[in-house]
Amino acid sequence: MNKEEFYNLLKARRSIRKYKKDPVPKEVLERIFAAAMEAPSGKNRQNWRFYVVQGEKRDEYLKYSQKSWLGIKDILQQRLKPSLYAFTERFFFTLGDAPVLVFAYSHNDAEERYHTSIGSVYMAVENMNLACFVEGLGCCTMGAPLEIKSEVDQFLGVDQLPEYQRGELELLCGIVIGYPDHEPPKAPRQHEGRVTWLK
């Protein structure tokens, strides 16, 4: 891949919220997780932990997704145009028919600063976003599961793990994955005021 292709890849990636029902082959998902784990991490602790949900368990999660919508719908109603609000509501109710859900956790411990641990996991999540794109898949990173964090922990059985019980395992986001069934416009970017050059 040359320089131009790399920058074009970053520009072309976008969040997908409508998917074909086609399953994603396991070897493709394995490549996506391998890409995730190429990410840098504080002290190379590789503190990302991923939980993959498909099939009936994925269908079962829909009621949790619907519940997470209740936590954010009021803010979105003020911020989004009515048509986009309705589309987003539908996305939360159906997860856009995506066949694969991934939940990304951080294993935090006293050896690393909290924010460094969190940032490391998000670097892996961005690698997943890009790997999905080159695989012809779409994805949408979702903070919404944090609205019902402890319920998601129980749903996945993560709450039974000793590291969770020691308070070290924390849900950071969901990632919805599948083959895209729409081509949304790229959300505009604002560069103004984001970078300060000191003289």
Ligand X SMILES: Cc1cc2nc3c(=O)[nH]c(=O)nc-3n(C[C@H](O)[C@H](O)[C@H](O)COP(=O)(O)O)c2cc1C
Lookup: tokens for 96: 């856009």
Classified as helix, coil or strand, 134 is helix
The region of 2-10, 44-52, 136-144, 161-169 touching ligand X under the rule CB under 6 A is 136-144
The alpha-carbon radius of gyration of the chain (Å, integer) is 17
Quick note: the x/- pattern for ligand X over 164-183, rule CB under 6 A, is: ---------x----------
Residues 6+ apart with CB under 8 A from 192: none
Q: Tell which one of 132, 144, 156, 171 touches ligand X (CB under 6 A).
A: 144
Angle among Cα 118, 173, 121 to the nearest 5 degrees reads 30
Q: How far is the CB of 17 from ligand X (least distance, A)?
A: 6
Longest distance between any two alpha carbons in the chain, whole Å: 57
Asked if 94 is part of the footprint of ligand X (rule: CB under 6 A), the reply reads no
Q: Measured from the CB atom, is 69 or 164 closer to ligand X? A: 69
Is residue 130 near ligand X by the rule CB under 6 A?
no
Choices 33-41, 112-120, 134-142, 190-198; region in contact with ligand X by CB under 6 A: 134-142
Bridge-based pairing of strands 48-53 and 138-142 is unpaired
Residue type, 75: I
Q: Which stretch binds ligand X (CB under 6 A): 43-51, 54-62, 141-149, 158-166?
A: 141-149
Shorter beta-carbon distance to ligand X: residue 15 or 66? 15
Which residues neighbour 198 within 8 Å (Cβ) at sequence distance 6 or greater? none
Does 137 interact with ligand X (rule: CB under 6 A)?
no
141 interacts with ligand X by CB under 6 A: yes
In whole angstroms, how close is the CB of 3 to ligand X at the nearest point? 21
Please state the separation of Cα 75 from the chain's center in Å: 20
Integer CA distances (angstroms), 36 to 26, 46, 130, 166, in order = 15, 10, 9, 26
Strand order in the sheet with 48-53: 48-53, 100-107, 169-178, 138-142
Per-position x/- string for 49-88, each x denoting binding to ligand X as judged by CB under 6 A, each - no binding: ---------------------------------------x
Interface residues with ligand X (CB under 6 A) are 14-15, 17, 88, 91, 140-144, 173, 187
